[in-house]
Amino acid sequence: MEILCCPVCKGDLELLVTEERGEEVLEGTLRCAACRVDYPINEGIPNLLPQNICED
């Protein structure tokens, strides 16, 4: 967690866990403390792609 940061503003991320197995987070959210953007964690994999990517 110490090496992760928000890809939008480089702010610190807070971990919100909804499901875990032992010390592994399976489901949850990483929330930027600065800009309040949420990044989902699904099946143990965080998705840190910015959410406002335009699709053509």
Tokens of 32: 């930027």
Domain extents in the chain = 13-46
Count of CB atoms situated within 10 Å of the CB of 8 = 15
- The tens digit of pLDDT for each residue in 5-42 reads 999 999 999 999 999 999 999 999 999 999 999 999 99
Q: Tell me what pLDDT residue 17 has.
A: 97
The pTM (predicted TM-score) of the whole model is 0.81
pLDDT for position 38: 95
pLDDT interval class at 46 (50, 70, 90): very high
User: Phi and psi at residue 14, in whole multiples of 5°?
Assistant: -105, 135
